[in-house]
Every structure is written in C-alpha cells, then in structure tokens.
Structure 1
C-alpha cells in the first residue's frame, strides 16, 4: 500500500495477525495525513479499528468516529443503537466542528453512555407538628449502599419505616382509614 494504491486480497483467505497489523498500520499512515474531520462506521464495534492516535507533521492526530444512521424514514431516526451522542454547548455547526476536535470527551456511542443512577433517598427529616409527636425534630441520612436501623424496642425503628411508607403511598393504615372511616380509630 503506497501513497496512492489499492490492496486486493481474497476475502475468503485468512490473514495472519502480522499481515492484519501491517495492513492496518499502512492504512493508518495513509489516512491520518489526509485530514478527515471524522469517519463514519456501520457498527459500534468498528470504532476500535479507526481510533488511532499518531503524530503527523509534529502534531498529535486522531480521527473521530461517528455511527452511521442511514435513516430511510422518520422512525429510523429513533433507533437507539444508531445514535452518536455529541456533547455541545449549543447545536450549531461551529460547535460540532469543535466537538470533533475532542472526540475522547465529546463523542459517545450508545454503549459508552453511562446508565443513569437509580433513584435513591438521600435522607429524611421528621418534624412533629406539636409536642405530642414521638420525634420532635429528627434528620436521618441514608447511605448509598446500605442503611440499617438499629435500636432497642420502642426506639422508633418501625415509625421511620412507616414514615417512608407514607411518603411513597404504601401506608396500609391510610387505606384502612379511607375504607372504614372513623370506626378504625376507635378500635
């Protein structure tokens, strides 16, 4: 593979790892100096074949890789596996050009995007409306991993759980009051 040339090989023939590496290196040496803004690939896994970093004319050069989306209908645009996420401050052509200059931090494929964290409870605060409440004012922080409620009998562990149930609408007592009315309170 020279500066201008074509390499032909039998697609059914198997190349050795050394031959694959040699072709890859020659292709890289040919394509990097051309100065492409980006390369479009058909599959997310093809990205690795084009993410080179090399030095051309004393500068570090890499070519951004984008996932092709040959949409033939509006519905095809919504396919999650055909999307390239590009981080820009606003959607305009100059910001796209700038994002292409920093592909490692600005361009992501669907498999690269971290999954959003699951919702979690950071903590809770209970304030008694009058002096008759068990907790006058209490703040409880919850751990990201595991929170244990430990204490002697009657210390309010179940009251904290019932408060959480109430917040999320799983308080069975409220449903029973709605069904049976004031009779439940007398029992």
Structure 2
C-alpha cells in the first residue's frame, strides 16, 4: 500500500488489485480535517458544537425578572432559537411570544446586554438587539408564537423550557419579535440564539 499526499492537502492510498491488475484508489480528506497526521489511527475531526458557536455567532440573554415585563428582539438577519427558559421563584408568570405584525408596541425600551456564548472568538459583531420596558397589545390574541403558564407550588418552583432537545429549535425570519411576561411572579428568563447572516 502506498500513501501519497497531493499539493492541495488531499491524500490517496493506492494498492494494487491482483485480480484486476489495476491499482485501487482511496481518497482521504486533507490532514487539517484529521485528528492526527501520524500513526495508523487518524480519525475525522468532528465538532461537538454548532459551527455558529465556533464562529462566534451564538448569543444569549439571561435576566432576573419581575412580571409584568416585555422583551423586544430585533433580528436584522434570520436566527435559530436553540433555548428559551422561564423559571419562577414566587407566584406565577405567563409567557406569550409575538411577531411584530400582530401587536401594537408602545412605551420606552431600554437595551439589554447580549452575551456571546463563545467568549474567546469575538471577531463576529452581533447584528441583533434586545430591549425591555415597553408593552405590547396583541391584535389577534390567538396568534401567539409560544405560550407557557409557570406557577410555583409550596414545595418547589416550576420551570418551562423551549428548545434544548433535538429538532426543537425555531428558525425565525429576520424581523422584530416580542416576549411578553405577564402576572405578578418573580424568577428568571433566558434565551439563546444563533445569527444566520
């Protein structure tokens, strides 16, 4: 068996085929895609996280909340929402998610800090923005995008989670969206998304 490396980084293995009298050729990926270029057991390098994570295009928001409160998400590019969670430590909170086309938004909005999930690769500048403080009135109350009613019990707080599992993410078109939290409860709200420019 002979291993030959080409100028473009690809390798191929040739081994004579005694039955046909012609060499058999097996193409191998470039060495940069392999875990090792030495030894007899190289493996194909596979990331355990999303490409967007390593590119620095994943962001998260985590806020301690006291309902009622509304968050406005402005996405100039499409996004994938991977995780959204609401936990309540006292009383109860209802969560409604709306598209801007179905609400009338009013009030003053205060920017909310957007944190990168990859704090090492900061080469990508987020295009999205998040704000809180205003209010929304739905045009059609039945057209909410997500809903949850989280109530504490005397023993433990309850938690609502959107995403986190396989194929449970949401792929949203560019636009403005609102997460409206109603009630009188306290707790925390978090969301994680990836920009897909």
Name the one with the larger helix percent: 1
Larger RCO (CA within 8 A; separation ≥ 6): 2
Name the one with the larger strand percent: 2
**Fold conserved between structures, TM > 0.5:** no
TM-score of the superposition, structure 2-length normalised?
0.20
User: Who wins on radius of gyration, i.e. which is larger?
Assistant: 1
